[in-house]
Amino acid sequence: MIARVGSFATRWTSAAPLLAVVMLVLTWGRDLPAAVVALVTVVLAGAVLAAVHHAEVIAHRVGEPFGSLVLAVAVTVIEVALIVTLMADGGDKGATLARDTVFAAVMITCNGIVGISLLVASLRHGTAVFNPEGTGAALATVATLATLSLVLPTFTTSRPGPEFSGVQLTFAAISSLVLYGLFVATQTVRHRDYFLPITRQGEVITADDHADAPTARTALISLGLLGLALIGVVGLAKGVSPTIESGVEAAGLPHAVVGVIIALLVLLPETIAALRSARRDRVQTSLNLALGSAMASIGLTIPAVALASIWLSGPLVLGLGATHMVLLALTVVVSSLTVVPGRATPLQGGVHLVLFAAYLELAINP
């Protein structure tokens, strides 16, 4: 029975990327009726789940912290591609899409994923334990990237409104890449042990005893299927984006909700992966996924949209409003207090989740 279930899972995750590419070819550049949009949405969701599954297979093969890095980058590639494709078709409404989506990703990861992971791990195991050195380094990088890219544009004076000038945008893009590159080098080479799960006695867990690692052949197949899934996700999301935007407008919601929906769609499978790790008392892996995704979201999205702004018409608004800056500042302060002890109780998880709920409430009712 177990073998049949595993075989079904393998077939499903292999078929979903292929089906997504076929659906993309059939629907590209066409106006889609409601029934087809519903079908595309189902295939899109399957492709996202399949993409993350194959990223997890690769991650299991290469081990931590490389595994979390692979998953975070894979998810961010999806997000960046969605942002750029929607900006290309969004006109003036696309001016704030990058900002809204990146900020949504930061709030979802730093409060939603972190909060639910800490809550699940602490309720299941008493307290959630993790390495404060690695987690603190990741948090500091996220805070710096968010401030440089999302806060400073509100206060610069070279351009009217919360926009960077061309030189400022170039500096922000290069700084984002440099900081992200430095963090990856720190995480994977120089201080790799800071990002490995630890026991309750503080000992580093260097091997995952949950399951045998996949073979090199399996990992290579997953790499190819991951690429197909990403292509399918990007193309199909472009096809259903008009429906998302019209639905948001019909509901009378702010256009920023589109960015929230994109981020939720992309990060939902990663949330599931973080929860799995938290249930197994591998909270450091959950935090690697959450903060790594936040960091990759900023560190890769800002350079991508900076490059895309060369051929995209219209302004590129990156600066946050006062309400969102308060939420970001509170998130950084609370996260710092959570990280310092190296362990957390359900209270810390609940505080992060309340911050996430406040963000969602203010996104719907600004």
Is there a cis peptide before residue 65, judged by omega within 30 degrees of 0? yes
How is domain 2-364 classified at the architecture level of CATH? Answer: Up-down Bundle (1.20)
Given this model, what pLDDT does residue 2 score?
A: 37
CA 104, distance to chain mean position in Å, is 9
The answer on pLDDT for 16 being more than 80 is: yes
What sign does the CA torsion over 237, 242, 245, 247 have?
A: negative
Query: Could you tell me what percentage of the chain is helix, strand and coil, using 3-state DSSP and rounding each to the nearest 5?
Result: 80, 0, 20
Tokens (6 digits) for 337 = 């207090």
Angstrom CA distances, 28 to 21, 45, 225, 232, stand at 10, 17, 20, 11
User: Between residues 216 and 352, which one has the greater pLDDT?
Assistant: 352
* Whether residue 4 has pLDDT greater than 50: no
Q: Is the pTM of this model over 0.85?
A: no
For the chain, the average pLDDT equals: 83
Q: What is the model's pLDDT at position 172?
A: 92
Closest listed residue to residue 262, CA positions, set 141, 87, 117: 87
Does the structure show a pLDDT above 80 at 335?
A: yes
Mean pLDDT of 2-19: 65
Element (H, E) at 128: strand 128-129
Residue type, 301: T
